[in-house]
Structure 1
Amino acid sequence: MSRRLARETALQVLFQRDLTKEPMNTAEEVQRWAEEFVVPEPSRNFAQELVDGTIAHQDEIDQTISSFAQDWTLNRMAKVDRNVMRLAAYEILYRSDIPGRVSLNEAIELAKRFGGEESAKFVNGILDRIVDNAMKVEQKGSD
């Protein structure tokens, strides 16, 4: 399974949803983008999980991103950057099966590939704080 292809597929769906602001059948969109990127079936399932989870927790994710994005509102952020961070924050906050640093590194790669010149640095700065905070919360819970 290619998790990177799955993340790219999920990002396309989340970006499109953010851009159009219209209701969509995410399963159809995941399928369409997966065909475009020639994504194998197991990776399509992972992409769907990422899309569904990110959308289900978007309010909490947006609040978290906003709290760590000093002097930036979500609306001022580039749509690609915002959706890369939403996707990674979902993984960091809600997917214990994926190490936070892995999600962070994958987000940086997505930002380099799909974002602007400063996207990777911007995304890294905010997500790094989210990962550090999540690790502190996890440590307190296990004490």
Structure 2
Amino acid sequence: MSERRQDYKRHGSRYKARMRAVDILFEAESRDVDPVAIIDDRHKLARDTNPIVAPVAEYTETIINGVAVELDTLDVFLAEHIAETWTLGRLPSVDRAILRVASWEMIYNTDVPVTTAIVEAVEIASEYSGDKSSAYINATLDAMASKVETLRERAANPEAVLAEASESLDDAPVAPWDDSDEDFEAVDAAEVFEAEETVEVSEVAEDSEVSKVSEEKADES
């Protein structure tokens, strides 16, 4: 048995339910479908005579239903607390899923200790992502934890939360390590092309001035 599998086994059913919720949210975003619909599909497949998927745990379904209902509010809160050099809309999809699961637990499921939600989110990030992901996920959730009571009060009035959101979640700069986004690469390429074009124009203008001076000297002689 691998070391990774042993680590996974040490966790309880809630941890596994969170991991599967992250899986489903990631799949839903990748396929652009409702995560609740994926849960329904999983239930049907698990009831087949020869099931090809495992049944969905009750707590996984609770998380998915909660995140689906409160998604807009959660994203506003996450965008408010994520570091300025990052942006929720341009993070890797799996990191968004982890943040949404943990923030939903922190704000909407008071049965789960805030510390537990954060610690397990960071552990899931270490399983699915890298060191950078674990670090900024931890920092973001810690920032939310410091004012969790206020966030819970605000969450009771989601219309007001959305009305207060003055900027789009996609307006912030691209995460510095996100080099997989085509639009970001296209912008960089366009900037390089524009810079090269400017140099070429300048060189042409400079050559023209040199030619003009040479002609004037020739006329004087």
TM-score class, shorter-chain normalisation, is 0.7 to 0.9
Q: Which structure is higher in RCO with an 8 Å CA cutoff and minimum separation 6?
A: 1
Distance in 2 separating the partners of 1:36 and 1:88:
28
Q: Report the CA distance shift for 1:23/1:51 in structure 2 as closer, same or farther (over 3 A).
A: closer
1:1-143 alignment runs, 5 A limit:
2-23=13-34, 25-28=37-40, 31=43, 44-71=57-84, 72-135=86-149
SS of the residue corresponding to residue 96 of structure 1 reads: coil
Deviations 1:97-124 (A, max 9, x none): 0011100001001100011231111100
- TM-score of the superposed pair, with normalisation by structure 2: 0.55
Gaps of 5+ in 1: 139-143
Identity of aligned residues (%): 24
Q: Tell me which amino acid in the other structure corresponds to 2:29.
A: D
Moved >3 Å (runs of 4+):
28-33, 35-39, 135-138
User: How many residues end up aligned between the 2 structures?
Assistant: 134
CA RMSD of aligned residues (A): 2.5
- TM-score of the superposed pair, with normalisation by structure 1: 0.82
Please tell me whether Structure 1 or Structure 2 has the larger radius of gyration of its CA atoms: 2
- How far did 1:36 drift? 7.8
- In structure 1, the partner of 2:205 is none
Which structure has greater helix proportion?
A: 1
